[in-house]
Chains A and B, each alone.
Chain A
Amino acid sequence: MAAAETLAGARSVRGARFELSERAFAYLLNLPAILTILLLVAYPIVDAFWLSLHRYNLRRPEAYAFVGLQNYVDVFTSDQFVPSLGVTLFFTFWSTIGVLVLALGMALVANEHIPQRAILRALILLPWAMSGVVTALMWKWIFNPNSGALNGLLYSLGLISNYRSWLMSPDTSYLAIVTANVWNTLPFSALVLLAGLQAIPSELYDAAKVDRASLWARFRHVTLPWLSQPILIVLIVQALGGIRIFDIIYLLTGGGPGYQTTTLGFAAYVTSFISTDIGRGNAWSYTVALLTLVIAIFYMKLLYGRGDVRS
């Protein structure tokens, strides 16, 4: 009794002090995170836009001048714009489709009671733990025109009659970067879909079985509807990652042959840091950011609508 009173008393005394400052306290706790974001993300993103409105080349800093939207006009009307937008969308589209199909297959298999399930689930983490740089190293060695594994394998199987330089020919260089990206980003999506599969109540399958539904009908009417949200997440995360791809392009093809695999992001890098044209480079970067924004808004609406964001 006395203990309970003390407890209540202690609470109200503390409570009074706490109640007043709860909001302030909450923002105080958030201060380090807010400062980090203001200084290192918010300021740079505003600054980047401001710079994109200027003529600013590091080699001729004296020519710095406000030019309005001229950099954007230059970017959109340059010969490089439509091809690099095309490469970006092509890369993003095929990476996303490739990952979705393979991840779905992998998740379905890893959800089965088979002996190799534990092996598969542990192995999934290998590409996930691998950085883009090591992924690029690996595929560059596989695609090596002389001693690479792909040529050796296809040749010994009789599928090709002479060795090919996969990364140097226009049609296969696309395939190469998509393959490397799919390999690297597959685990994340497979794990998301696997978690989705595990959330499906098994009674639903039993009911479908009683109704003598075929394998396909069960997949179509039970599995897919339950997976719609995880699939959407996979699509969005893959699309966001595809649009901003950099390391795989830089290391595997360097944007080539020619400009064949130059994405918007790679063009932004080259313009800013090779041509040192900060103004126009930022206009390229902002184009990537705007493309991302469209998808990001869609994603946040989805999560918000589901109630994942709560106070």
Chain B
Amino acid sequence: MSRALRYGVPWRGLLIHGASIVFILWIVLPFGWVVLTSLMTEVESLSVPPHWIPDYVTLDNYIAFVDPTILGSQRLAGGGAAQGAPRAMLNSTIVALSVAVLNMIIGSLAGYAFARLNFRGSATLLLVYLATRMVPALAIMVSLYLMFQTFGLLDTLLALILSYLTFTVPYSVWIMASYFRTIPRDLEDAARVDRCNWINMMLRVFLPVASPGLVACAMFAFMSSWGEFLYALLFTSTLNSRTMPILIAGFVTDVTVSPTLMNAGGVLAVLPPLVLALIFQRLIVSGITAGAVKG
């Protein structure tokens, strides 16, 4: 009622509906074009002017990532590059999952200290984490490269995992600290009477209650690792450690790769984070806004 009163102006509704449609199209159209192209045959994707709706829908471009022979004569046109896809997908998954798990551990340990213990220097330490988040990867890439070279870690997944900790850990500490603060202290008090030791108390009582925070922490770590490009470009050189972003970048910069294959690769690369984002929509939205407010 108050809304109807508040906004009695007739053209206002039109403006809002119009704008909402423009925004929806602004998001959907570019990606829709990628999806549509990925379902075309190569010949159709190259037609001028472009076909918006494919005359002939095919899944060959996706199947090519598992079985490169499917594209037949197209095999030369990037089929070879697609061969690395299952391995790249596996590498990306291993790296992103490892980073997520490490962040849950490191983040909840440090987060607990900030949420529950009074210690001198805590405010300063929290600021140090915040400052760490703002260090641009560009500033440390050369030193990290030389360091990994010294330890023989170039072209290994470990190099990627370690380098991704640089930008995920500070954020995870912040997420966990602010989430743990919302959990009532009674739980731990009750557990202490039962003479549980600290680790037992964490594993059996505290962390299960804090699981939404842990999931948020893992999600952000997973997603930012999944799509990372600069470190992956510098530290990987063969299929041993190449991740999806590097495979996709190879498609984008190689003009001989068929556009249909390239777009199918783009869809495959965006699928895991997109599915996660939609499943955990609420958690992400609150995480983004909390992260922004808290730094």
Residues of A within 8 A of B (CB): 6-7, 10-11, 14, 22-23, 25-27, 29-34, 36-37, 40-41, 43-45, 47-48, 51, 102, 105-106, 109-110, 112-114, 116-117, 119-134, 136-142, 144, 146-149, 151-152, 155-156, 163, 183, 188, 191-192, 194-195, 202, 205-206, 209, 215, 230, 233, 237, 240, 243-244, 246-247, 250-251, 254, 265, 268-269, 272-273, 278, 281-282, 285-286, 288-289, 292-293, 296, 299-300, 303-304, 308-311
Q: B residues within 8 A CB of A310?
A: 123
Q: Is the CB of B129 within 8 A of A37?
A: yes
Q: Is B53 an interface residue (CB 8 A)?
A: no
Q: Is the CB of B269 within 8 A of A22?
A: no
Known contacts A32-B109, A133-B249, A134-B248; decide if A141 and B12 are in contact (CB<8 Å): no
Q: A residues within 8 A CB of B119?
A: 22-23, 26-27, 311
Give CA–CA (A134, B125) in the complex, Å.
36
Q: B residues within 8 A CB of A250?
A: 229, 233, 249
* Binary interface encoding of chain B residues 30-41 relative to chain A, with 1 for a CB under 8 A from any of its CBs, else 0: 110110010000
* Besides the known contacts A130-B270, A131-B273, 9 further A-B residue pairs in the complex with CB atoms under 8 A apart: A26-B119, A131-B245, A133-B248, A138-B31, A141-B263, A195-B293, A247-B229, A269-B230, A293-B134
Q: Is the CB of B259 within 8 A of A147?
A: yes
Q: Is the CB of A125 within 8 A of B136?
A: no
Binding stretch for chain A, among B17-25, B58-66, B79-87, B207-215: B17-25
Q: Is the CB of B122 within 8 A of A311?
A: yes
Q: A residues within 8 A CB of B205?
A: none
Give CA–CA (A60, B131) in the complex, Å.
35
The 8 Å CB contact of B136, one of A37, A191, A233, A289, is A289
Shortest distance between the CB of B144 and any CB in chain A (Å):
5
Q: B residues within 8 A CB of A254?
A: 253
Q: A residues within 8 A CB of B145?
A: 273
Shortest distance between the CB of A154 and any CB in chain B (Å):
10
Known contacts A10-B192, A36-B165, A133-B229; decide if A144 and B134 are in contact (CB<8 Å): no
Give CA–CA (A59, B242) in the complex, Å.
25
Of B52, B112, B163, B285, most buried by chain A (CB within 10 Å of CB) is B285
Give the dominant DSSP class at B's interface. Answer: helix
Q: Is the CB of A251 within 8 A of B17?
A: no
Of B135, B192, B234, most buried by chain A (CB within 10 Å of CB) is B135
Known contacts A32-B105, A233-B292, A289-B135; decide if A44 and B143 are in contact (CB<8 Å): yes
Shortest distance between the CB of B272 and any CB in chain A (Å):
9
Q: List, sorted by A's number, 17 A–B pairs whose CB atoms are closer than 8 Å.
A: A23-B120, A29-B110, A32-B105, A33-B109, A109-B16, A126-B274, A136-B252, A137-B248, A138-B266, A140-B252, A141-B262, A152-B50, A183-B26, A194-B289, A233-B292, A247-B245, A311-B118
Measured CB to CB, the nearest residue on chain A to B46 is: A147
Q: Is B100 an interface residue (CB 8 A)?
A: no
The 8 Å CB contact of A123, one of B27, B33, B110, B112, is B27
Q: Is the CB of B50 within 8 A of A285?
A: no
Q: B residues within 8 A CB of A205?
A: 6
Q: A residues within 8 A CB of B141?
A: 269, 272, 285
Shortest distance between the CB of A295 and any CB in chain B (Å):
8
Measured CB to CB, the nearest residue on chain B to A47 is: B143
Q: Is the CB of A147 within 8 A of B45?
A: yes
Give CA–CA (A51, B33) in the complex, Å.
46
Q: Is B203 an interface residue (CB 8 A)?
A: no
Interface residue total, chain B, C-beta cutoff 8 A: 111
* Binary interface encoding of chain B residues 268-295 relative to chain A, with 1 for a CB under 8 A from any of its CBs, else 0: 0110011011100100110011001111
Q: A residues within 8 A CB of B105?
A: 32
Q: A residues within 8 A CB of B24?
A: 116, 119-120, 123
Measured CB to CB, the nearest residue on chain A to B294 is: A308
Q: Is the CB of A129 within 8 A of B136?
A: no
Known contacts A156-B49, A206-B6; decide if A142 and B33 are in contact (CB<8 Å): yes
Q: Is the CB of A191 within 8 A of B147?
A: no
Q: Is the CB of B294 within 8 A of A303?
A: yes
Give CA–CA (A152, B107) in the complex, Å.
49
Q: Is the CB of A215 within 8 A of B142?
A: no
Q: A residues within 8 A CB of B128?
A: 37
Give CA–CA (A105, B134) in the complex, Å.
28
Shortest distance between the CB of A153 and any CB in chain B (Å):
8
The 8 Å CB contact of A48, one of B126, B142, B278, is B142
Q: Is the CB of B252 within 8 A of A40?
A: no
Give CA–CA (A139, B127) in the complex, Å.
37
Shortest distance between the CB of A24 and any CB in chain B (Å):
9
Q: Is the CB of A129 within 8 A of B6?
A: no
Give CA–CA (A269, B136) in the complex, Å.
13
Give CA–CA (A236, B200) in the complex, Å.
42
Closest 5 CB pairs of A and B: A131-B227, A44-B143, A44-B140, A26-B119, A195-B289
The 8 Å CB contact of B139, one of A37, A48, A209, is A48
Q: Is the CB of B138 within 8 A of A33?
A: no
Q: Is the CB of B20 within 8 A of A116?
A: yes
Q: A residues within 8 A CB of B9?
A: 215
Shortest distance between the CB of B121 and any CB in chain A (Å):
8
Shortest distance between the CB of B55 and any CB in chain A (Å):
15
* Binary interface encoding of chain B residues 126-165 relative to chain A, with 1 for a CB under 8 A from any of its CBs, else 0: 1111111011111111111111000000000000001101
Known contacts A116-B24, A137-B251, A244-B137; decide if A233 and B293 are in contact (CB<8 Å): yes
The 8 Å CB contact of A309, one of B106, B126, B139, B229, is B126
